[in-house]
């Protein structure tokens, strides 16, 4: 049975992924709050990833870093601290986690690392300067590490569009905003966390053992299609 380490699996896409992985493998969740789940294959370890030492682990086959942020402001309203916070959450937290667990990952079964980007890297959108910058850095990390760690450890990322999670609740706070977002997407839909988790589960599996250094756009067509 594979052991999957999920950083930030207590809500949103992370929680949906934990639920899928528990059907066939062990999951260690590291986050400030425990997921509202009970399963014999689930172990939760409380930790503030950015401000506390990560727990020691003896065995890990996959590492998934889920924490993210959505800071949307005009450039004139963004402070340097806003940029620092987004970079800390999205990039430095991932780096800290990878550096901590790389030694045990190297001993894992078909080890892989999965991170999460955003369509904001490929699609220029107003008010996304801070988060777009942070996620672009994350994609650079994916490419660099995939080359550095090949052939032993695969590294990939998923870049979703707006997803129906608590993190995106401000964007989806009323019917008018939901309709506007849906209409911007050629496939006329907003992602559900379970859809993203389904792709994530595949990328962690043996079926994806030839995939590394890839950024998978889950965009409902907004980046790739003009209709």
| Tens digits of residue pLDDT in 195-215 | 999 999 999 999 999 999 999
On the question of pLDDT at 180 being above 90, the answer is no
> Omega into 151 within 30° of 0, i.e. cis?
yes
Mean pLDDT throughout 24-37? 95
Tens digits of residue pLDDT in 52-80:
999 999 999 999 999 998 889 999 999 99
**Candidate from 3-7, 185-189, 194-198, 213-217 with smallest mean pLDDT:** 185-189
pTM as predicted: 0.94
For residues 94-117, b (16+ Cβ closer than 10 Å) or e, as one string?
bebbbebbbebbeebeebbbbbbb
DSSP structural state of residue 205: S
Q: Please determine, for residue 162, whether its predicted confidence score (pLDDT) is greater than 70.
A: yes
pLDDT digits 0-9 by tens, 125-146 = 899 999 999 999 999 999 999 9
User: DSSP letter string over 5-66?
Assistant: EEET-SSHHHHHHHHHHTTTSEEEEEESS--S---TTEEEEE--TTTSPPPP-S--SEEEE-
Q: Is the pLDDT score of 190 beyond 90?
A: no
Cα atoms in the Cβ-side hemisphere of radius 13 Å centred on 11: 11
Confidence bin at 169 (pLDDT 50/70/90): low
Residue 155 is given by DSSP the state E
Measured in degrees and rounded to the nearest 5, phi and psi for residue 187 equal: -85, 0
At 103, phi and psi to the nearest 5? Answer: -60, -40
Share of the chain above pLDDT 70, in %: 99
pLDDT of residue 149: 98
**Fold of the domain spanning 3-218:** Rossmann fold (3.40.50)
């Amino acid at each position: 049975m594979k052991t999957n380490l999920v950083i930030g699996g207590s809500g949103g896409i992370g929680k949906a992924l934990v639920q899928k992985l528990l059907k066939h493998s062990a999951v260690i969740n590291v986050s400030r709050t425990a997921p509202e789940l009970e399963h014999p294959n689930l172990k939760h370890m409380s930790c503030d990833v950015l401000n506390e030492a990560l727990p020691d682990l003896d065995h890990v086959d996959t590492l998934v870093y889920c924490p993210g942020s959505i800071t949307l402001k005009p450039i004139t309203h963004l402070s340097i601290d806003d940029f620092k916070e987004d970079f800390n959450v999205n990039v430095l937290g991932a780096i800290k986690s990878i550096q901590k667990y790389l030694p045990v990952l190297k001993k894992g079964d078909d080890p892989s690392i999965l991170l999460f980007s955003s369509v904001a890297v490929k699609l220029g959108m107003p008010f996304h300067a801070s988060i777009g910058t942070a996620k672009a850095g994350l994609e650079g990390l994916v490419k660099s590490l995939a080359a550095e760690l090949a052939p032993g450890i695969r590294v990939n990322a998923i870049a979703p569009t707006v997803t129906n999670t608590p993190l995106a609740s401000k964007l989806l706070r009323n019917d008018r905003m939901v309709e506007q977002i849906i209409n911007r997407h050629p496939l006329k839909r907003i992602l559900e966390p379970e859809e993203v988790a389904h792709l994530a589960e595949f990328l962690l599996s043996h079926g994806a053992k030839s995939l590394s250094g890839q950024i998978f756009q889950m965009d409902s067509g907004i980046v790739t299609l003009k209709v």
